[in-house]
């Protein structure tokens, strides 16, 4: 499943799993930079999704307030 097909909850769960890796026994310093870049990219995607959701809610709120 591509990132664009995942729900916001699935993306957040993926980010949680990536962050947990840094605290796990599987942590390897050599892989940390790549994992950090992946987590940052995912976090930016989540932030974008949340902003779009916020904008949609604001539009709906305006429609109902009329």
Note the pLDDT of residue 51: 96
Note the pLDDT of residue 12: 97
Contact residues for 38 (Cβ-Cβ < 8 A; gap 6+): 18
Domain range for residue 34? Answer: 3-65
Domain count, the chain: 1
Residue given tokens 């599987």 in the structure block: 26
Q: Is pLDDT at 66 greater than 70 in this prediction? A: no
Note the pLDDT of residue 20: 97
How confident is the model over 2-15, as pLDDT tens digits? 877 899 999 999 99
How confident is the model over 17-52, as pLDDT tens digits? 999 999 999 999 999 999 999 999 999 999 999 999
Task: Give the Cα separation of 57 and 50 in Å (integer).
Answer: 10
CB neighbour burial string for 46-64, b if at least 16 within 10 angstroms, e if fewer: beebeeeeeeeeeeeeeee
The structure's pTM equals: 0.79
């Amino acid at each position: 499943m591509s990132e664009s097909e995942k729900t916001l909850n699935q993306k957040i769960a993926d980010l949680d799993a990536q962050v947990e890796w840094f605290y796990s026994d599987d942590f390897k310093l050599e892989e940390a930079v790549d994992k950090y870049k992946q987590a940052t990219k995912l976090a930016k995607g989540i932030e974008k999704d949340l902003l779009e959701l916020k904008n949609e809610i604001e539009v709906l709120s305006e429609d109902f307030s009329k």
